[in-house]
Amino acid sequence: MKLAFLLSDLDEAVKKFVADLPFAKPEEMGLNKRAGSGAWVGEDLLVIDFWSESKFVNYGGFEDVSPGHKRAIGSYVIYSADNGKVDACIKAFENLKVAA
């Protein structure tokens, strides 16, 4: 199998996974609006586009998230809610939805 095919398959798998998740803008998660385009929000995770990660880290305050709490899969980065910063973003988005 060629690398390009593997990466394409991984991207498709993540796209299918996030298809049913809500997409939140940074400010909807309590982050600076410059922190990329946003993230798909799951019960215990955030999924961002790989190409937006530097903005997410620099403007969203994710520079201290350890490698054990995130995984790059294809063109996406998945952050685990086991990290306090990630969990706070998920809760901020959930609270926003409840208030609406």
- pTM for this predicted structure: 0.91
Query: Residue 100: its pLDDT value, please?
Result: 66
* Average pLDDT over every residue of 5-32: 95
In a 3-state reduction of DSSP, which class is residue 80? strand
pLDDT in tens, 22-81: 999 999 999 999 999 999 999 999 999 999 999 999 999 999 899 999 999 999 999 999
Kindly report the CA angle at 72 between 66 and 73, in degrees rounded to 5?
150
Q: What is the spatial distance between Cα 4 and Cα 57, in angstroms, rounded to a whole number?
A: 27
Query: Residue 98: its pLDDT value, please?
Result: 81
User: Which candidate, 91, 21, 97, 88, places its Cα nearest to that of 60?
Assistant: 88
Task: Answer for the pair 35, 59: CB distance below 8 angstroms, yes or no.
Answer: yes
Task: Please report, as a single letter, which amino acid is at residue 90.
Answer: I
Residue 96 pLDDT more than 90? no
